[in-house]
């Protein structure tokens, strides 16, 4: 029997907690090798944080866009042509493990998920999100008025 791993598709859906939990528990074996690596965590009721490891990128080389419930994080390295007269011309790497490639990472957001801000610290980009459900869509409690119901029954007899 062939099994299908849907984890890469569903773990970037923010705000679909129940669905994401089901899909993650069904397919825990995937450790996708995407770049840059990231974490998604809940920081409180209806609050989320995306953390991306963007070592080597400056704030001016990163762009965050929100369009049609899709959060797009783009990293664009400045052109690093090495001039022979600069000090950087003497750099020779024996091993280069810090990636400096350009990237685009997309996250599909649930309805009513808003971005509250973003900051960078020690090579990590933090994007804070929150869920704001409009009052019209929130569940409403309907009180049961037993006295009114009894009066209607007596009047119908």
For the residues 24-28, what does the mean pLDDT come to? 56
pLDDT, one tens digit per residue, over 98-150 is 777 899 999 999 888 999 999 999 999 999 999 988 888 778 888 898 765 55
d(CA 20, CA 11): 6
Q: Is 115 helix (H, G, I), strand (E, B) or coil?
A: strand
Q: Show me where the domains of the chain are located.
A: 35-81+96-138
pLDDT of residue 21: 60
pLDDT of residue 134: 83
d(CA 144, CA 130): 33
pLDDT at 13 over 70: no
Q: Which residues of 117-145 are buried (b: 16+ CB within 10 A; e: fewer)?
A: ebeeeeeebebebbbeeeeeeeeeeeeee
DSSP strand pairing (62-67 vs 70-75): antiparallel
pTM of the predicted model, to two decimals? 0.62
Q: Are 101 and 77 in contact (CB under 8 A)?
A: yes
Q: What does residue 45 show for φ and ψ, rounded to 5 degrees?
A: -65, 120
pLDDT of residue 152: 58
pLDDT of residue 146: 72
Q: Which residues pair with 107 in a beta bridge?
A: 71
pLDDT, one tens digit per residue, over 55-89 is 889 999 999 999 988 999 999 987 665 544 555 56
pLDDT, one tens digit per residue, over 85-99 is 555 567 788 888 877
What CATH code is assigned to 35-81+96-138? 2.60.40.790
Q: Are 113 and 129 in contact (CB under 8 A)?
A: yes
């Amino acid at each position: 029997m062939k099994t299908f791993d849907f984890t890469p598709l569903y773990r970037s859906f923010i705000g679909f907690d129940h669905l994401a939990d089901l899909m993650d528990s069904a397919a825990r074996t995937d450790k996708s090798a995407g770049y840059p690596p990231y974490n998604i965590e809940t920081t409180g009721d209806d609050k989320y944080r995306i953390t991306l490891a963007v070592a080597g990128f400056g704030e001016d080389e990163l762009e965050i866009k929100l369009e049609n419930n899709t959060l797009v994080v783009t990293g664009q390295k400045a052109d690093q042509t090495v001039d022979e007269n600069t000090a950087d011309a003497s750099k020779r790497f024996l091993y280069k493990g810090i990636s400096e490639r350009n990237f685009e990472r997309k996250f599909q957001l649930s309805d009513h998920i808003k971005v509250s801000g973003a900051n960078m610290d020690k090579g990590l980009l933090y994007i804070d999100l929150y869920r704001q459900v409009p009052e019209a869509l929130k569940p409403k409690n309907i009180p049961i008025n037993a006295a009114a119901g009894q009066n209607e029954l007596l009047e119908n007899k």
